[in-house]
Amino acid sequence: MLPDGRLSYARFPNQAPGSANTTRWNSNPSFGQQMIYLTNTDKGHSDSFTLSLKKPFADNWSAMIGYTFSRATDVNPGTSSVANSSFQNRSWINPNDDYESISNYSIPNRIIASVTWEKAFFGDYKTNVSAFYDGHSGAPYSWIFGNDVNGDSYTRDLAYIPAGPNDVSWAPGVTAAMKQSFFEYIAQNPDLARYQGDVFKRNAARAPWVNQLDLSISQEIPGFMKDHKGQIRLDIFNVLNMIDKSWGVERRADFPLERRLADVRGVDANGKYIYDISTPTYNVGGKYTPARLPVNESFNPSQRWSLLLTLRYTF
């Protein structure tokens, strides 16, 4: 058993993770690593509450606003159609425990709003200008160790957040300045600070709030024959990003929603983890600097702003 109470599957639990410290020691050779037991669970739930208001106003204006509050938890987010991939693409304390936690798909707060102005300047050919806003909570994520701490052959171990500098030991390359900046970072990050002295909970951190705004302008025009009508429409997706490239983007932790806190180089003679934050993964110029949340580019179309010009002819 390791210092924070989690199980170890390594041949030498207190030694540094690595090829010399055999993982999955004493595993039954009759069963391969991808032998997965699938069953049902009554853990996990979701609920939501939505309120929306929609109203037409005078002078050709109309508007809508809506708010959704939701909660969602699960045991396994089911990130793949393959059992072994779904098993390993999640964060854990002990890999075989089916504990309930915040779902990967949890978006607790969402606000949508739209405003439209429409007027026929000549005949019944309408000019329409509309804007749509979507603001919502960022995606959840977990803080994990940067290497296979428990010897199960996966790097999915939820990190222990030290209560103070003497709560863990430190690898030889870690300086006093690095330690100080490490705890300054924790103090400035409420998600980390509330778990000091404990193991971080799966998906207990959350990426920043996301703001996106779309704009649409359309104009109806006469057709070539009676009762025919044309429309020219310009859609500007993610207007905020067009104004400033740092606006209108979602930052999201790397799949499956994880950030790395520190590497572990084993357990010392006093039963404390040995943390290593001296590598470039965590250290920039002698200061603790974990990798930033990257911009989520998994969307199609991209989160970058774009224009779409549409010509429509109705007859």
pLDDT tens digits, residue range 224-240?
A: 998 899 999 999 999 99
Least confident range from 17-26, 174-183, 251-260, 268-277: namely: 17-26
Residue 28 banded pLDDT, cuts 50, 70, 90: confident
pLDDT mean over 129-143: 97
- 214 alpha-carbon distance from chain centroid: 23
pLDDT mean over 164-182: 96
pLDDT at residue 300, rounded to an integer: 54
Residue 37 banded pLDDT, cuts 50, 70, 90: confident
Residue 194 banded pLDDT, cuts 50, 70, 90: very high
Is the model more confident about 22 or about 140?
Answer: 140
What does pLDDT average to over the chain? 93
pLDDT at 75 over 80: yes
Amino acid found at 157: D
pLDDT at residue 93, rounded to an integer: 96
Placement of tokens 């003679």 in the chain: 269
pLDDT mean over 164-174: 96
pLDDT mean over 127-138: 97
pLDDT at residue 33, rounded to an integer: 76
pTM for the full predicted model:
0.90
Q: Which residues lie across from 104 on neighbouring strands?
A: none
Tell me what percent of the residues of the chain surpass a pLDDT of 70.
98
Tell me what percent of the residues of the chain surpass a pLDDT of 90.
79
pLDDT mean over 263-279: 96
pLDDT at 32 over 70: yes
